[in-house]
């Protein structure tokens, strides 16, 4: 089948009796089946189906090349930013709903298979649902065409109505399958169904600011996508085993997934290697590593998900403390804060309350910073409901009770800098980072946003690398 595209001024119609002479000499595209307009097929059902099949084949061919890159991290970032739903979003916005649904189904299946190739094992249904959740919700942020199809379709129609209004054109007739998108809303947001079902017949008038405002919101795809995300999170938690739902919750915290978006390694030993990256992806997606194997550190039988490895004193828990400490020390020094590790002991107690001692920070008095990394899911309570930051807050309180009063007595400030293995950071850590970001931006001449990304990513990678080393130490012999 030939693919004809309209470029410039031309006319196409499935009706052969429409002649170019009827439109003042505008040339006619000679195709009875259909044409492409701005990349979207318009024409017979057979023509559109053939286009969708070809589009899916092209996506499949490209996705199969990802393993050949030889770096799981690079493959994942290409998949996320270049080869996921973004490849077909314009078609999901412009195709008839049922045709778009067919394309979304095909593309979603191919993307899911590609994630399995990157991770090294096919994903279960729940693991795929977790992968497509936003990073801020504990997922990997992969855009699933099936999830964005209805938001894309509804927002495109609302945008078209607004454009017609701006150009003074007659109100668009509703597409015959618009109610299929409304049916989708019936599931994810029943309270909006009545409003949305009225969109095709709603009129926009210049004197009615409310109607204009509504359509300005509705034309934004993210408005509808956010409704979908809320539903997806609730739906996932209701179906997932308790440990899996708890783990997702623990990963859903500001900056917990900053390591996911870090650029590929450049030979820096502090970067994540491809193998470390793959282990971290498996861990975040709750893919079991190995069942019933002995812990190389203590000899006990491990759980398959790494909860024992995160809590076992013989599996490098001090290493993760040191990685975070060193990264924080580097960021302090980069921001111009006079700092050094292994602070002086308290005069009265002979005890050292600090991993890092800051001479010129905060209000000007010396500050003792005590770094700590705790596991959110202990093996003994791995089936309990957990929330990001709870364990960090508990450790902060413990450390303050232990050191704060003694530090204050000698004129020092005291700050517990606590992280959870899943990436949540304690409230005191956020305060320290906020000051560091401001100092770093001022010293280097960056915007605050640029410094925020750089500083948090440095801490996130340091924590993630230490976790990856623990997981590889625990399960590396079983996964090649």
* Residue from 281, 288, 316 nearest 302 by CA: 288
Query: pTM to 2 decimals?
Result: 0.87
Residues 6+ apart with CB under 8 A from 25: none
What is the rounded distance in angstroms from the CA atom of residue 265 to the CA atom of residue 272? 6
Task: Yes or no: say if 361 and 337 are a contact pair by the CB < 8 Å rule.
Answer: yes
Q: Are 446 and 269 in contact (CB under 8 A)?
A: no
Q: What is the rounded distance in angstroms from the CA atom of residue 319 to the CA atom of residue 82?
A: 35
What sign results for the dihedral spanned by CA atoms 172, 178, 184, 186?
Answer: positive
Torsion 306-310-316-320 (CA) sign: positive
Which bin fits 267, alpha (ψ -120 to 50), beta or left (φ > 0)?
Answer: left
| 100-144 pLDDT tens trace | 999 999 999 999 999 999 998 999 999 999 999 999 999 999 999
Cα separation, 261 vs 258, in Å, equals 6
Least Cα distance to 247 among 381, 422, 465, 466 occurs for 422
For residue 188, give the DSSP letter. Answer: H
Q: What DSSP letter does each residue of 365-399 carry, written as one string?
A: S-EEEEEEEE-SS-GGGTTS---TTHHHHHHHHHH
pLDDT for 270: 72
What phi, psi does 294 have (nearest 5°)? -80, 145
DSSP β-ladder status, 413-420 and 367-374:
parallel
Per-residue pLDDT, 152: 93
Instruction: Enumerate residue ranges in the chain where pLDDT < 70.
Output: 1-8, 15-27, 30, 169-174, 200-209, 264-269, 342-353, 362-364, 378-386, 480
Per the rule left: phi > 0, alpha: psi between -120 and 50, beta: everything else, 308 is alpha
Work out the burial of residue 107: count CB atoms within 10 Å of its CB; fewer than 13 is exposed, 13-18 middle, 19 or more buried: buried
Rounded Cα distance, 380 and 243, in Å? 12
420 in Cβ contact with 427 (< 8 Å)? no
Q: Give 20's DSSP letter.
A: G
Task: Give pLDDT, residue 258.
Answer: 94
Task: Identify the DSSP state of 259.
Answer: G
Rounded distance, CA 157 to CA 234, Å?
27
Chain centre distance of CA 389: 19
β-pairing verdict for 40-43 and 356-358: unpaired
What pLDDT, on the 0 to 100 scale, is given for residue 204?
A: 66
Q: What's residue 385's pLDDT?
A: 46
**Residue of 111, 113, 2, 102 whose CA lies nearest to 52:** 102
Q: Any residues with CB less than 8 A from the CB of 183 and at least 6 apart, and which?
A: none
| Helix then strand then coil, % of the chain, to nearest 5 | 55, 10, 35
Residue whose token pair is 């000899």: 299
**163-183 residue pLDDT tens:** 777 777 666 666 778 888 888
- Give the length of the chain: 480
- Using DSSP's 3-state secondary structure scheme, residue 432 falls into helix
> Could you give the CA distance from residue 380 to residue 176 in angstroms, rounded to a whole number?
56
Quote the CA–CA distance of 122 and 76 in Å, as a whole number: 15
For residue 299, is it left (φ>0), alpha (ψ between -120 and 50) or beta? left
Question: Residue 295 in contact with residue 321, Cβ under 8 Å?
Answer: no
3-state secondary structure of 137: helix
Q: Which of 74, 116, 82, 425 is nearest to 285 (CA)?
A: 116
Residues facing 367 on adjacent strands: 358, 413
């Amino acid at each position: 089948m030939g693919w004809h595209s309209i470029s410039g001024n031309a006319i196409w119609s499935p009706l052969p009796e429409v002649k170019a002479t009827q439109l003042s000499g505008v040339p006619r595209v000679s195709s009875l089946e259909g044409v492409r307009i701005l990349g979207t097929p318009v024409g017979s059902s057979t023509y559109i189906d053939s286009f969708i099949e070809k589009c899916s084949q092209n996506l499949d061919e490209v996705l199969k090349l990802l393993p050949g890159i030889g770096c799981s991290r690079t493959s994942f970032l290409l998949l996320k930013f270049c080869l996921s739903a973004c490849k077909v979003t314009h078609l999901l916005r412009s195709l008839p709903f049922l045709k778009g649904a067919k394309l979304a189904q095909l593309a979603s299946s191919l993307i899911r298979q590609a994630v399995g190739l990157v991770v090294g094992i096919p994903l279960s249904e729940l693991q795929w649902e977790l992968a497509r959740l936003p990073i801020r919700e504990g997922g990997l942020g992969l855009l699933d065409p099936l999830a964005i199809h209805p938001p894309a379709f509804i927002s495109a129609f609302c945008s078209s109505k607004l454009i017609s209004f701006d150009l003074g054109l007659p109100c668009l007739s509703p597409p015959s399958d618009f109610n299929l998108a409304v049916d989708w809303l019936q599931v994810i947001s029943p309270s909006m169904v009545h409003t949305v079902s009225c969109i095709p017949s709603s009129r926009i008038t210049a004197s009615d600011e409310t109607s204009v405002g509504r359509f300005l919101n509705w034309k934004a795809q993210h408005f509808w996508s956010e409704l979908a995300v809320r539903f997806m999170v609730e739906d996932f938690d209701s179906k997932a085993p308790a440990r899996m739902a708890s783990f997702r919750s623990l990963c859903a915290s500001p900056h917990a997934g900053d390591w996911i978006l870090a650029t590929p390694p450049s030979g820096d030993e502090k970067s994540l290697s491809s193998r470390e990256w793959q282990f971290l992806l498996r861990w975040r997606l709750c893919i079991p590593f190995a069942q019933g194997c002995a812990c190389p550190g203590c000899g006990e039988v491990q759980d398959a998900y790494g909860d024992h490895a995160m809590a076992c004193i013989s599996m490098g828990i001090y290493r993760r403390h040191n990685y975070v400490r060193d990264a924080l020390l580097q960021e302090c020094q980069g921001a111009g804060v006079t700092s050094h590790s292994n602070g002086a002991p308290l005069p009265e107690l002979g005890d050292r309350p600090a991993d890092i001692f800051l001479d010129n920070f905060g209000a000007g008095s010396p500050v003792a910073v005590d770094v700590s990394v705790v596991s959110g899911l202990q093996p003994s309570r791995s089936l309990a409901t957990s929330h990001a930051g709870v364990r960090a807050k508990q450790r902060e309180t413990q450390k303050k009770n232990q050191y704060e009063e003694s530090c204050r007595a000698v004129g020092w400030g005291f700050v517990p800098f606590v992280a959870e293995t899943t990436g949540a950071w304690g409230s005191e850590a956020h305060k320290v980072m906020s000051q560091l970001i401001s100092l770093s931006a001022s010293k280097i001449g960056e915007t605050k946003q640029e410094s925020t990304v750089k500083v948090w990513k440095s801490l996130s990678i340091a924590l993630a690398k230490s976790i990856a080393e623990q997981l590889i130490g625990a399960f590396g012999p079983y996964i090649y």
